Structure 1
Amino acid sequence: MASPPAAYQASAGGSLDVDREFYTRLANHAEQSSPVTDFVIPIRSGIAWEVPAGQLCRIRTVDGPQVGDLNIWNRHNPRERLWASRTRQLHGAHVSTFDRLWSTLPYLRPLATITSDTLDWYGEDDEGGRVHDLLGTRCDPYVNRMLTGEDFDQHCHSNLVRAVLPFGLTEFDVHDVLNVFQCTGLNDEDRYFMKASPARPGDHFEFFAEQDLLCALSTCPAGDLSIPLWGPDARDPLEVCRPIGVQVYRPDDKLLAGWAPPEPAGYAGQHGLTYAAPEPPR
Structure 2
Amino acid sequence: MLNYPAAYQSTKGSALEVNEPFYRHIAEERDQRELIESIVVPIRSGQAWSVPAGHVFRIVTIEGPQVADLNLWNRHDPRERMWASRTRQLQQAHVSTLDRLWSTLPFLRPMVTITDDSLAGYGVDEHGGRVHDLLGTRCDPYVNRMLTGEDFHFHCHSNLTRAIAPYGLTEYDVHDVLNVFQCTGLNLEDKYFMKACPAKKGDYLEFFAEIDLLCALSTCPGGDLSLPMWGPDARDPLDVCRPLGVEIYRLAPALLAGWSPPPVAEYRGLHGMTLPQPDWKYGC
* TM bucket normalised to smaller: over 0.9
Kindly indicate whether the alpha-carbon contact (under 8 Å) linking 1:61 and 1:245 is maintained by their aligned counterparts in 2: yes
Q: Cα RMSD over matched residues?
A: 1.0
CA distance in 2, matches of 1:246, 1:205: 10
Partner of 1:110: 110
Determine whether 1:73 maps to 2:49: no
Partner of 2:250: 250
Superposition deviation, residue 232 in structure 1: 1.4
Per mean C-alpha deviation after superposition, the further-off stretch among 182-191 and 265-274 is: 265-274
Determine whether 1:96 maps to 2:108: no
CA distance in 2, matches of 1:267, 1:196: 43
CA distance in 2, matches of 1:238, 1:259: 44
Superposition deviation, residue 166 in structure 1: 0.3
**4+ runs deviating over 2 angstroms:** 29-32
CA distance in 1, matches of 2:181, 2:34: 26
Superposition deviation, residue 275 in structure 1: 7.8
Determine whether 1:185 maps to 2:192: no
Indicate the SS of the match to 1:193: strand
Partner of 2:29: 29
Superposition deviation, residue 270 in structure 1: 1.2
Partner of 1:210: 210
Superposition deviation, residue 8 in structure 1: 1.1
Indicate the SS of the match to 1:27: helix
Superposition deviation, residue 34 in structure 1: 1.2
Instruction: Look up the equivalent residue of 1:14 and give its one-letter code.
Output: S
Partner of 2:282: none
Superposition deviation, residue 233 in structure 1: 1.3
Q: What are the within-5 Å matches in structure 2 for residues 1-282 of structure 1?
A: 1-30=1-30, 32-274=32-274
Indicate the SS of the match to 1:200: coil
Superposition deviation, residue 167 in structure 1: 0.3
CA distance in 2, matches of 1:256, 1:164: 29
Which consecutive residues of structure 2, in runs of 5 or more, have no partner in the other structure? 277-284
Indicate the SS of the match to 1:121: helix
Count matched residues. 276
After superposition, give the CA deviation of every residue in 1:14-52 in whole Å (9 maximum; x if it has no partner).
221101100011111246411110011000000000000
Indicate the SS of the match to 1:22: helix
Kindly indicate whether the alpha-carbon contact (under 8 Å) linking 1:133 and 1:179 is maintained by their aligned counterparts in 2: yes
Indicate the SS of the match to 1:143: helix
Indicate the SS of the match to 1:215: strand
CA distance in 2, matches of 1:154, 1:185: 24
Partner of 1:279: none
Indicate the SS of the match to 1:25: helix
Indicate the SS of the match to 2:111: strand
After superposition, give the CA deviation of every residue in 1:98-147 in whole Å (9 maximum; x if it has no partner).
00000000000000000000000000000000000000000000011111
After superposition, give the CA deviation of every residue in 1:48-102 in whole Å (9 maximum; x if it has no partner).
0000000000000011000010000000000000000000011111000000000
Kindly indicate whether the alpha-carbon contact (under 8 Å) linking 1:112 and 1:208 is maintained by their aligned counterparts in 2: yes
Kindly indicate whether the alpha-carbon contact (under 8 Å) linking 1:156 and 1:221 is maintained by their aligned counterparts in 2: yes
CA distance in 2, matches of 1:269, 1:29: 42
CA distance in 1, matches of 2:72, 2:185: 23
CA distance in 2, matches of 1:14, 1:244: 36
Distance 1:252 1:32, change over 3 A: closer
CA distance in 2, matches of 1:240, 1:186: 24
Indicate the SS of the match to 2:71: strand
The structure with more radius of gyration: 2
Kindly indicate whether the alpha-carbon contact (under 8 Å) linking 1:61 and 1:199 is maintained by their aligned counterparts in 2: yes
After superposition, give the CA deviation of every residue in 1:188-230 in whole Å (9 maximum; x if it has no partner).
1100000001001000000000000000000000000001111
TM-score, structure 1 length as denominator?
0.96
Superposition deviation, residue 268 in structure 1: 2.6
CA distance in 2, matches of 1:60, 1:31: 19
Which consecutive residues of structure 1, in runs of 5 or more, have no partner in the other structure? 277-282
- Identical positions, percent: 68
Superposition deviation, residue 10 in structure 1: 2.9
TM-score, structure 2 length as denominator?
0.95
